[in-house]
Chain A
Amino acid sequence: MFSFEFMRNAYVASTIIAIVCGFVGVFVVSRNMPFLTHTLSEIGFAGASFGMFIGITPLNGMLIFTVISSILVGKMGTKSSRRENSISAISGLFIGLGVLFLALSNKSASYATNILFGSVVGISQSDVNQMVILSVIVLLVLLVIYRNLKFDSFDPVGAKAQHVNSGLISIIFLVLLALSVSVAAQIVGALLIFILLTLPAASAKYFSHSVSKMIALAVVFGLIGVWLGLYLGYITNWPVSFFIATIECSIYFAALGFNRIMQN
Chain B
Amino acid sequence: MSDLILETHDLWEEFSEKKILNNLSFKLKRGSFLSVVGENGVGKTTLVRIILGQLKPTHGTIKFFPNRKSIRIGYVPQFRNIDDEYPLSVKNFVALSFSGYKLPWLSRQERQQLKLVLQETDLEKIANEPLGRASGGEKQRAYLAQALAVRPDLLILDESTASLDPISKENLLRLVKKLNVDTGVTVLFVTHDIPLAKQFSDEYLLLQPNGYEVGPIDQLQVADYEGGQHV
Contact = CB atoms under 8 A, between A and B. Distances in A.
Interface string A199-236: 00000011011111010000000000000000000000
B88 A162 contact: no
Interface string B127-163: 0111000000000000100110010000000000000
A31 to B, nearest CB: 13
A206 to B, nearest CB: 8
A96 interface: no
A253 interface: no
B52 interface: yes
Select the residue from B53, B93, B99, B147 with max chain A CB neighbours within 10 A.
B99
Contact of A151 (B85, B96, B128): B96
Contact of B128 (A146, A148, A209): A209
B104 A146 contact: yes
Interface stretch (A85-93, A103-111, A130-138, A153-161): A153-161
Interface residues of B, number: 30
Nearest to A30: B87
B97 interface: yes
Nearest to B49: A161
Contact of B101 (A145, A155, A163, A209): A145
Contacts of B147: 158, 161
A40 B130 CA distance: 32
B99 A155 contact: no
A210 B147 CA distance: 19
A150 B96 contact: yes
A147 B89 contact: no
A30 to B, nearest CB: 8
Query: A143, A157, A212 — which one has the most chain B CB atoms within 10 A of its CB?
Result: A157
Contacts of B146: 155, 158
Interface secondary structure of B, over-half rule: loop
B81 interface: yes
Contacts of A211: 88, 92
Contacts of A146: 104
Chain A interface size, as a band, is 20 to 34
Contacts of A208: 87
A209 B96 CA distance: 13
A19 to B, nearest CB: 15
Contact of B87 (A147, A205, A212): A205
A147 B97 CA distance: 9
Interface stretch (B3-11, B72-80, B167-175): B72-80
Interface of B: 52-54, 75, 77, 79-81, 85, 87-89, 92-93, 96-102, 104-105, 128-130, 143, 146-147, 150
Interface of A: 30, 143-148, 150-151, 154-155, 157-164, 205-206, 208-212, 214
Given A155-B146, A158-B143, A208-B87, 15 more contacts: A143-B104, A144-B101, A145-B101, A147-B98, A147-B100, A151-B96, A154-B88, A154-B93, A155-B93, A157-B79, A158-B97, A161-B52, A162-B150, A164-B99, A209-B89
19 contacts: A147-B100, A147-B102, A148-B101, A150-B96, A150-B99, A151-B99, A155-B96, A157-B77, A157-B80, A158-B77, A158-B146, A161-B52, A161-B147, A162-B150, A208-B87, A209-B87, A209-B88, A210-B89, A211-B92
